[in-house]
Amino acid sequence: MNGELTAHSVADFPPRTTWIEVSRSALAHNLYLLRSRLAPTTQLMAVVKANAYGHGAAETARTLQQAGADHFAVATLSEAIELRQAGIARPILVLGYTPPWHAASALAHAVTLTVFELETATALHAAAKAMGQRLTVHVKVNTGMNRLGVRPEAAPALLTALATLDGLTVEGVFTHFATSDETDKQHAEAQFTRFQALLETLRQAGLRPPLAHAANSAALLTMPHTHLDLVRSGIALYGLDPDMTQCTLPAGFRPALTWKAIVTQVSDLAPGEAVSYGREFIADRPMRTATLPIGYADGFPRRPQTWGSVLIHGQLAPILGRVCMDQTVVDVTAIEAATGPVQQGDEVVIIGRQGDATLSAETASARVGTNNYDIVSRILARVPRIYVA
């Protein structure tokens, strides 16, 4: 037994009985496909916020940097610092609000910040001056998402004021589409028209920053006239659809993430016996069940809707009873009848392919009642990420 174990290196074994495999070649390939849609002068910003949509920020960003991503985008300064510590040398933009008290840290790590009002910008400028440095910023413009940003009509005055603050370098101006993933592009086009009008006003005033950007993955794919100087792509890099019905990826993109586990126990269930907390599922016939080492504290939802089923032996194994914090029980009665005994250690696929069967993040998201962005970014950090070719 010991001899057998030492015949393998520890690295041959996943550190937990559930893990995520991320394909580096899929990430690089998807980046290549996106890049091939861009003019040579348009730069690509890889959006790796939220732990790279669950794919693992450090390793995903390293792979994308090697594959030629020009910039990175994250949601928070702490995410940006994690990338710097992982050896990411390219520019990193924080898309969200950064308070002035983070200015020193942003400067120390050469991180680019988003600004959209003068008060914070002035405080950032003062902090940069105190350190004898210049902080690079992009101005966020709200053209119709109504989440974050300066209104287009107020933007020229803001950029005029920013030009007087020599602690800041205004490198970019950007906006974000609310509906570029929908078939009806009317609102997205209206947003873009507003943004272009602003860019023209800024140009005439000599205030247009070098990098104007608007397009996310959906706009990159379906609104090529919005590419401008730079595109910000997240979901498509991971090989996932911007929208499951209205904006699916063209052929060729490959999902980079597979979520796996192994069966931890196989049991018999007699008629009348119940499974899991609250005894919500009661067997009405003799059944075989498999226990899985995944639960809601891994990002495998409990309520209001569950994943429904997972793949074992290339077949769907339905969830029985309540999903627990760390464990879930599935029905393998039909699978055993079709493919033979299910055993401890058998592979379970929660997202991905198994044999001829696929359980995509999109399918899981439809069952859970959310979107694929939510499904992958909610997989918690305690599920180890393993990087494969």
Ligand X SMILES: Cc1ncc(COP(=O)(O)O)c(C=O)c1O
Question: Nearest to ligand X by Cβ — which residue?
Answer: 234
3-state secondary structure 297-333: HHCCCCCCCCCCEEEECCEEEEEECCCCCCCEEEECH
| Options 260, 277, 373, 387, the catalytic residue | 277
Stretch that binds ligand X, among 216-224, 277-285, 300-308, 345-353 (CB under 6 A): 216-224
Q: Strands 287-292, 347-354: parallel, antiparallel or unpaired by DSSP?
A: unpaired
- SS3 of residue 287 by DSSP: strand
Provide the residue type at 389 as one letter: A
CA count, 13 A, side-chain hemisphere, 299: 24
| Closest distance of CB 49 from ligand X, Å | 7
DSSP 250: P
| Closest distance of CB 216 from ligand X, Å | 3
Nearer to ligand X, 309 or 371 (CB): 371
Subset of residues 328 to 367 that bind ligand X, contact rule: CB under 6 A: none
The phi, psi pair for 338, rounded to 5°, reads: -85, -35
Q: How many CB atoms lie within 10 A of CB 85?
A: 10
User: Does 95 participate in binding ligand X (rule CB under 6 A)?
Assistant: yes
DSSP 16: S
User: Does 47 participate in binding ligand X (rule CB under 6 A)?
Assistant: yes
User: Does 136 participate in binding ligand X (rule CB under 6 A)?
Assistant: no
User: Does 61 participate in binding ligand X (rule CB under 6 A)?
Assistant: no
Number of residues that bind ligand X (CB under 6 A): 12
Q: Is 49 a catalytic residue?
A: yes
Q: How many CB atoms lie within 10 A of CB 1?
A: 5
| Closest distance of CB 128 from ligand X, Å | 23
Nearer to ligand X, 147 or 203 (CB): 147
Name the nearest CA neighbour of 236 among 209, 213, 218.
218
Kindly tell me which residue out of 29, 35, 102, 176 binds ligand X, with binding defined by CB under 6 A.
176
Check: CB of residue 111 under 8 Å from CB of residue 77. yes
**x-or-dash string of contact with ligand X, 292-321, rule CB under 6 A:** ------------------------------
Nearer to ligand X, 50 or 127 (CB): 50
| Closest distance of CB 14 from ligand X, Å | 28
Q: How many CB atoms lie within 10 A of CB 169?
A: 16
Distance between alpha carbon 177 and the CA centroid of its chain, in Å?
A: 17
| Options 49, 140, 185, 260, the catalytic residue | 49
Task: At 88, list the tokens.
Answer: 């990411």
Kindly tell me which residue out of 42, 120, 216, 289 binds ligand X, with binding defined by CB under 6 A.
216
Nearer to ligand X, 235 or 320 (CB): 235
Subset of residues 218 to 257 that bind ligand X, contact rule: CB under 6 A: 218, 232-236, 242
| Closest distance of CB 77 from ligand X, Å | 15
Residue with tokens 């600004």: 115
Check: CB of residue 110 under 8 Å from CB of residue 155. no
Q: Is 277 a catalytic residue?
A: yes
Kindly tell me which residue out of 23, 63, 98, 217 binds ligand X, with binding defined by CB under 6 A.
217
Residues near ligand X, by CB under 6 A: 47, 95, 176, 216-218, 232-236, 242
Catalogue the active-site residues.
49, 277
